[in-house]
Chains A and B, each alone.
Chain A
Amino acid sequence: MALKMVKGSIDRMFDKNLQDLVRGIRNHKEDEAKYISQCIDEIKQELKQDNIAVKANAVCKLTYLQMLGYDISWAAFNIIEVMSASKFTFKRIGYLAASQCFHEGTDVIMLTTNQIRKDLSSPNQYDTGVALTGLSCFVTPDLARDLANDIMTLMSHTKPYIRKKAVLIMYKVFLKYPESLRPAFPRLKEKLEDPDPGVQSAAVNVICELARRNPKNYLSLAPLFFKLMTSSTNNWVLIKIIKLFGALTPLEPRLGKKLIEPLTNLIHRYLCVQKLRILIEDSDQNLKYLGLLAMSKILKTHPKSVQSHKDLILQCLDDKDESIRLRALDLLYGMVSKKNLMEIVKKLMIHVDKAEGTTYRDELLTKIIDICSQSNYQYITNFEWYISILVELTRLEGTRHGHLIAAQMLDVAIRVKAIRRFAVSQMAMLLDNAHLIASNAQRNGICEVLYAAAWICGEFSEHLEEANQTLEAMLRPKVTTLPGHIQAVYVQNMVKLYASILQQKEQSGEKEAAQEITQLMIERLPQFVQSADLEVQERASCILQLIKYIQKLQIKEVPVAEEVIALFAGELNPVAPKAQKKVPVPEGLDLDAWINEPPSDSESEDEKPKTIFHDEEQRHSRQKQPEIDEEELARRREARKQEQANNPFYIKSSPSPQKRYQDTPGVEHIPVVQIDLSVPLKVPGMPMSDQYVKLEEERRHKQKLEKDKKKKKQKKEKRGKHHRHNSLHTESEEDIAPAHHVDIITEEMPENALPSDEDDKDPNDPYKALDIDLDKPLADSEKLPVQRHRNAENLKSPDSEAPLAEKKSKKPKKKEKKHKEKEREKGKKKEKEKKAVEEEEEKKGEDLDFWLSTAPPPASTSQPQSEPEVGAAVVGEPEGVKKDERAEQEEEEEEEDEGKKSSKHKKKKHKKEKEEKSKDKKKSKKKHHHSEEEAAESVQNGTLDDEPLPPMSSYRLLAENPYIKMTYDIQGNLQNDSQVTVSVILENKSTSFLKSMELNVLDSLNTKMLRPEGASVHDGIPVPFQLPPGISNEAQFVFTLQSIVMAQKLKGTLSFIVKNDEGSTHEKLDFKLHFSCASYLITTPCYSDAFAKLLESGDLHMSSIKVDGISISFQHLLAKICFHHHFSVVERVDSCASMYSRSIQGHHVCLLVKKGENSVSVDGKCSDATLLGNLLAEMKETLSSC
């Protein structure tokens, strides 16, 4: 044996170590693969030895090879051996290799559980650390389940180094074992306030990751994060929290309001738009990129402030870095207005001309179209200009987005009646110059526009001036080189053209000309009959026969035009994209049932006709649904690409040119010359879009002059409906009237169908799927036992003497507790589960309400609750342990308070915790049962008292008319003792578009609206948004005031423009803004000792009220006072409570609320007698309405 050992260590002398391996590989550049396979053989030999050092060395080398792309999973077992070595050196190597190559499919991973557990509890922190690091990479559901408890224990390890690792890895555990989320969450939340900044940041990190996927479950944490945000100085934490709030605000709009202040502080600290400009102007590309990124974020909320930097953004388009150009393009999209659209597009067109690289050019093209077509062509004032832009875009070489341009052409031509004549003339020109576009038809997608051109010319042939010439152009032999689906449209529209020419000639009695045109058709159509494309062939032969028949009739001199034209009678209306979905399914029709059994996949023969049919269907749908919003387009483009990629027959629909020639004898002599279009071509007769820009400017100027004149005349006119052109009272730039009457035809919908937002949700949205996925853990884990952790928390609730910070931090926990309680109740009433869920949501919202209205939840209400709950909880576990734990927790608190870090204490605690955990494990089998038992218990123990509070809103009605509803809320400003913020929610109740809203208030001596500098008291403040039908949004106005002891009422007016199909009218709505005294109060927590001192001080005035006939519970009553009057509860004993609040100017207000049988008496003390009187009067009003 000894000999063997000796031999082993001598062997080792000539083993390669990692450095030798690397050196060897570098020296064998020519036959690296061979050398490595040789090395792997050696490694295999080494792994067979007993010496662990040899094995570790081998595994270390394997890790290197893994990086080079060699599979090392075959050594998984050896890796585990090395992991379980007692020496840290080897262990670390083992874990590293494991982290690089283990995954869920590695079967031996099961063997590691006990080893990892052992390492996690190792006295050496680095053993634990290495195990945690390794585990983070290969944790499987099984490992997560088995080790969750151990890791959770580590979250309270004495060493912050372990704590932060444990906290982070919990995220991975949650992902793999979602049931662990609920039990572990309270502790995770605790870690948000860990003394070590690293641990804190880790906890923020984990919660942000969790919340990002599923924000609504984390809304209740908002107050805690809010506190962190205002207090933390760690940039990492700040960034994470701000991102988290980004996810939360859409769910809770009021959060936004709450966030404005700290965020502006932050922004002031770091940057602002002006500074962004400096960033963008900077030569450093990183800063430039970030500046643009930030701009695009700001653009969403403050479009105006960014718009002024248009010049700069346009400059960025010239940047040599493509990403910066693309970012700038994104920004432009949000910056256009009616006023600057032409200018921006003109600039973009210049860029299109100079752009190198088709990708960027394509990007430009799509952006131009996106920009122009956004929100239903909202910004286009002159469609002639737009058509010419589209026509100019067709001159792009090699773009893939021909179909985009085509779709736009069709859409505009169909929906804007007035433009048809112009569009048709342009399209005729395109058809005439088709050879330019289609020259390299197979290579580029631009020939798609011919599809649109042909269709427009055919459908609206009555507007065509030289129909003959166009028909001729469509019949050119060259057309047969176009893709099949375009030819098909050609053929169909030729007949339309032919019909209208025929009619024209017959009417003017030119019989010979009519016969000539028939003859032309008969001569040229056969080239399409020979087409390889089935669709073209079929249409062509059908039409050829028809025309031959017409010729016969013509020879007999029978007038046929009327009948031919009847073939195409009727107008094609645009159909809404959602219309198809809205068509009700007829009764008895089961769309999911098979008509025929599905054919077996192997028969490829079957698929061929199917794909053709599919292709065609797509084309039809394009015709029927010309209104395609950009999202839809993007989706379709994606879908089409997908389809093309997946469809093995796709190539067949556009055969290579050579093939085509073989198929169509008689055309092979036509030379196909590829024209380099990089020099912008000026096609004779084509209008340049530039000229429109000038025209438009002139027109606008004229319009403005006219408007000014009219304005003088209309001075006294105030109300009533006018035609659009007369209704422009305001000078707003947005109100530039379109050049000619633009009637965007509304799209057709099936009867009784209403467009709804529901449809907008794409069921295939990956985020939605994600959402559900991560939503599951919480829903499922309803049944999970949470007793231990929750109890610990309950016991922790501090005495009221606890320091301020401590107390604050507890608030969210209490909320959490409430949720859980609710959930337990829910367990009881399983049959009412749905209802309960709703309730819970309500409750959640309402909890937040308190916080959002800057009122903390009535602190003491949870105090009496927690008593019975503790009792209930204790039932589940031996009393002794509980008491121990209680003592322990208190100890811990003391420790924290005093800042002592006596490790002895903590070690003890850990031991105890571990003990508990082992107890827990024993119980785990009964877990489910256990929790139910507990639920029952808690209900019996009188938590019934805790019925849900009714939802409350601090927003009161301001004014309402058939168009608009205004509700408002007034909040004091902490930072400024003479300012309050009025938030007004404006809701559009009509079916019209509301815009140019302006709010004005008649200032009083005491209270004044804060207007921008230089504005007179008669100027209103514009509302920074417009309201589409059914939408509501919130605007904020700041008021300054001198005295706050009296309530105030201010008269005001909201003026706005109602815009609908019939035109627009100017409307206004008067209101009275009521500044109650309560709105000057800011909820400020106060502790009983401070409160007592305040009352003793004696310089407070006193007053009281009594209200009879109160029926609601005391808790609700307190909640109402807290919520509506901005008070916080200091102490509550039975049906008596003391409350406190503070005004923005620093008046203390103390209340003693007592509830009798049917009455409530409120005694108040305040540093200002008038204020107190008014406050109590207001409170009386609130209470008597209960």
Chain B
Amino acid sequence: MISAILVFNNRGKPRLVRSCERLPEERQQQLVREAVQLLLRRQQRGRSFLRCGRGGLFGGPEHKLVYRHDATLCFVFCVDSCESELGILDLIQVFVETLDKCFENVCELDLIFHMDKVHYILQELVLGGMVLETDMTEIVAHADAQSKLEKAEGGLSAAPSRAVSAVKNINLPETPRSISLGDMGIKVPNLSQLV
């Protein structure tokens, strides 16, 4: 069984946290911190498996962390003795490749801004802690089909708001509140009050 899947970057910022058994938020954060501590310092070494020490959050010595560093990210699967290390490593590879396909040259930013999509892709790989599918073409096909379905429905942010978010993306450093034009003293009301 896979008990948790974590993705965090080189500085220990979580990018994806999924525990297959429900954990309270603070425990989840603790889990991430512990994994970061364990893994980031062994980044330079080549090995990708780690037997969990006694105690700790990962459920004792029969649990293993299988992980892989990829560019700025670290993908960690916490599994029990029933899973094969190489198998899981392979699964991580599939996960990363799928992300790459779905995002077209995936980078950390994609994961940051589209955490939901990453979750959806992961859901095609792992279900309730068990491996669901390992065939990448299959996964990509289903993920694509679902995004198409979403597009057909107009997506979460349908056309009008997309335009707005394009406006917002111009990213004015600050909303102008009062622009003094000489002595004319015209006050520009707050934008949000306008609408």
Contacts and interface: CB of A to CB of B under 8 A. Distances in A.
**Do A and B form a real pair?**
yes
Contact of A96 (B119, B129, B158): B119
Interface in B146-183: 146, 149-150, 153-158, 160-161, 164-165, 168
Interface residues of A, number: 77
Contacts of B138: 198
Contacts of B131: 201, 205, 236
Given A168-B132, A171-B130, A243-B82, A133 B123 contact: yes
B127 A169 contact: yes
A90 to B, nearest CB: 8
A510 B129 CA distance: 81
Contacts of A191: none
B28 interface: yes
Contacts, number: 160
Interface in A517-569: none
B57 interface: no
B107 interface: no
A20 B161 CA distance: 12
B185 interface: no
A137 B156 contact: no
Contacts of A129: 142
Contact of B146 (A126, A164, A198, A205): A126
A20 B157 CA distance: 12
A89 B86 contact: no
Contact of B46 (A10, A60, A285): A285
B102 interface: no
A212 interface: yes
B142 to A, nearest CB: 6
A206 B165 CA distance: 46
A209 B29 CA distance: 28
Interface in A170-217: 171-172, 198, 201-202, 205-206, 208-209, 212
A93 B130 CA distance: 22
Contacts of A138: 22
Nearest to A175: B128
Contacts of A71: 24-25
A137 B17 contact: no
A10 B47 contact: no
Contacts of B158: 53
A321 B45 contact: yes
B120 A96 contact: yes
A100 B18 CA distance: 7
B101 to A, nearest CB: 18
Interface residues of B, number: 61
Contacts of A136: 127-129
A64 interface: yes
B116 A18 contact: yes
B153 A89 contact: yes
B46 A13 contact: no
B130 A205 contact: yes
A1134 interface: no
Main secondary structure of the interface of B (DSSP, over half): mixed
Given A168-B130, A202-B130, A88 B146 contact: yes
A63 interface: yes
A302 interface: no
Contacts of B156: 17, 53, 56-57, 60, 89-90, 93
A103 B22 contact: yes
A582 B2 CA distance: 43
A92 B130 CA distance: 20
Given A133-B123, A205-B130, A212-B82, A13 B116 contact: no
Contacts of A206: 130
A290 B130 contact: no
Interface in A15-50: 15, 17-20, 22-23, 26
A56 B161 CA distance: 14
Interface in A283-330: 284-286, 288-290, 293, 320-321, 323-324
A639 to B, nearest CB: 13
Contact of A20 (B48, B168, B195): B168
B135 interface: yes
A70 to B, nearest CB: 7
A161 interface: yes
Nearest to A11: B195
Contacts of B128: 136-137, 168-169, 171-172
A132 B130 CA distance: 13
Interface in A953-997: none
B188 interface: no
Contacts of A89: 149-150, 153-156
B116 A60 contact: yes
A63 B26 contact: no
Contacts of B28: 69
Interface string A75-100: 00000000000011110110010001
A13 B164 contact: yes
Interface of B: 1, 14, 16-18, 20, 22, 24-26, 28-29, 45-51, 82, 84-87, 89, 112-116, 119-120, 123, 127-135, 138, 142, 145-146, 149-150, 153-158, 160-161, 164-165, 168, 192, 195
15 contacts: A10-B195, A13-B160, A14-B164, A18-B114, A18-B115, A53-B156, A64-B116, A71-B25, A90-B156, A198-B135, A205-B131, A240-B82, A290-B86, A321-B45, A323-B49
Interface of A: 9-15, 17-20, 22-23, 26, 53, 56-57, 60, 63-64, 66-71, 87-90, 92-93, 96, 100, 102-104, 124, 126, 129-130, 132-133, 136-138, 161, 164-165, 168-169, 171-172, 198, 201-202, 205-206, 208-209, 212, 235-236, 239-240, 243, 284-286, 288-290, 293, 320-321, 323-324
Given A67-B115, A96-B123, A129-B142, 8 more contacts: A12-B160, A12-B161, A124-B149, A137-B22, A168-B130, A172-B128, A209-B130, A286-B89
Query: Which 7 A-B residue pairs are closest in the complex by CB-CB distance?
Result: A136-B128, A285-B47, A103-B22, A13-B164, A285-B46, A69-B29, A239-B84
